Amino acid sequence: MPEAALPIAAEQETVAARGVYTDAERELLRQLQLPEEDGVPLESHYHALQQQLLAEVIHQHFKGRTDYFCGTNMFVYYSLEQAQGITDFVEGKRESAPYKGPDLLVVVGVDGTKRRKHWVVWDEDDRFPDLLVEITSPSTKSKDTDDNLKLFAQVFRTREYFWYDEEAGEWMGYRLQGESYVPIEPNEQGWRWSEVLGAWLGVSELPYRGWRYRWLRLYDGAGRLVPTGEELAAAERERAEAERQRAEQAERRIEQERLLREQEHQRAERAERRAERERQRADAERQRAEQERQWAEAERQRAEQERLLREQAERRLAELEAELKRLRSDG
């Protein structure tokens, strides 16, 4: 993957060197009431959405940074002649205007907290945009794919330029080398690397604000789609919903484990009661057996006693009979 690169001091000095103005020119430039818009509507609803989408994901990609500026549909003023030409066009003094500005521009290494209604080169230490994007259409394709290449390379010296034709499914990216642009070769996914952004540009068919087009989007260095705010919110909702479901599952699992423990406790109690009843039955059986043994012993003793008494009675009877017999014989 190509390494991200920000402007170095030498590059900034080169940029400034091509925008040297005399004091008189600077005074005239300051006196101009620079228009912010010309009243010409964008080509289509898609055109406006694509601008907003690119700006949104660039801000997301650079989240936490204040050293860059990203603007959409913004005039770029870079010379007295061009500024006067735009002013005359807006005021109806001429039928056509010189180059006014891109669909999207990015400048790095500047104060991103500064409020800007347009990009005025002489008010920005003679800095031109580092990256430009044009959302082209049949009416602007010739300008975007030919005229702009010369202007951006030879006058702006803009490091990277991309144009995108959604209807035709075509787009290109260029990087400045010397006095001209060379195409940025796509990777296997058809994406093109931007050194200015430190990200890939590529086409995605995911919907944006409910609209389905082939959108020009950003992918980070790891190949992940840079999300929009809506996608982040949806991902957060999904994460929160997944977390809620995990919490519910954990609660159900805890409840199931509690019920299982309760059931196990009840089974243990029932088993203990059964064991106690069995013990009591065994004790009762032992007591009954002991009682029967005692009864049998008492019966045996009674029978023995009866036997002894009978034997004693029989002996006594024998003795009496013998005595009687003797007495009879003596008489």
What tens digit of pLDDT does each residue of 14-37 get? 333 355 667 777 776 666 667 665
Rounded to an integer, the average pLDDT of 118-142 is 93
pLDDT-derived band at 215 (thresholds 50, 70, 90) equals very high
- Output the six-digit token pair for 307: 């036997």
- Reference 109, options 98, 94, 92, 125; nearest CA is 125
- Output the six-digit token pair for 324: 């009687």
Instruction: Give the model's pLDDT for residue 118.
Output: 92
Task: Report strand pairing: 170-177 vs 180-183.
Answer: antiparallel
Residue 213, pLDDT above cutoff 80: yes
pLDDT-derived band at 167 (thresholds 50, 70, 90) equals very high
224 close to 33: Cβ distance less than 8 angstroms: no
4-41 burial by CB neighbour count: b if 16+ within 10 A, else e? Answer: eeebeeeeeeebeeebeeeeeeeeebeeeebbeeeeee
Higher pLDDT, 109 or 5: 109
pLDDT-derived band at 216 (thresholds 50, 70, 90) equals very high
Output the average pLDDT for the chain: 88
- Reference 233, options 212, 213, 216, 209; nearest CA is 209
Residue 106, pLDDT above cutoff 70: yes
- DSSP state, 144? I
pLDDT-derived band at 9 (thresholds 50, 70, 90) equals very low
pTM of structure: 0.71
Task: Report strand pairing: 199-204 vs 215-219.
Answer: antiparallel
Sign of the Cα pseudo-torsion (94, 96, 102, 107, in order):
negative
Location of each CATH 3.90.1570.20 domain in the chain: 9-226
Instruction: Give the model's pLDDT for residue 251.
Output: 94
Higher pLDDT, 101 or 2: 101
pLDDT-derived band at 42 (thresholds 50, 70, 90) equals low
Taking the C-alpha atoms of residue 130 and residue 160, their distance in angstroms, rounded to an integer, is 6
Instruction: Give the model's pLDDT for residue 186.
Output: 98
Residue 72, pLDDT above cutoff 50: yes
- DSSP state, 225? B
Taking the C-alpha atoms of residue 95 and residue 42, their distance in angstroms, rounded to an integer, is 18
127 close to 110: Cβ distance less than 8 angstroms: yes
Q: What percent of the chain has pLDDT over 90?
A: 60
DSSP letters for 261-300: HHHHHHHHHHHHHHHHHHHHHHHHHHHHHHHHHHHHHHHH
pLDDT-derived band at 121 (thresholds 50, 70, 90) equals very high
pLDDT-derived band at 314 (thresholds 50, 70, 90) equals confident
Taking the C-alpha atoms of residue 196 and residue 33, their distance in angstroms, rounded to an integer, is 31
- Reference 33, options 77, 72, 71; nearest CA is 77
pLDDT-derived band at 5 (thresholds 50, 70, 90) equals very low
- Output the six-digit token pair for 299: 């019966």
Higher pLDDT, 97 or 234: 234
DSSP letters for 176-189: EETTEEEEPPP-TT
Instruction: Using CA atoms of 110, 115, 119, 124 in order, give the dihedral in degrees to the nearest 10.
Output: -40
Instruction: Give the model's pLDDT for residue 19.
Output: 53
Residue 8, pLDDT above cutoff 60: no
Chosen CATH of 9-226 out of 3.40.50.2020, 3.90.1570.20, 3.40.1130.10, 3.40.50.720:
3.90.1570.20
Per residue in 78-95, pLDDT (tens digit) is 988 888 888 888 888 888
pLDDT-derived band at 4 (thresholds 50, 70, 90) equals very low
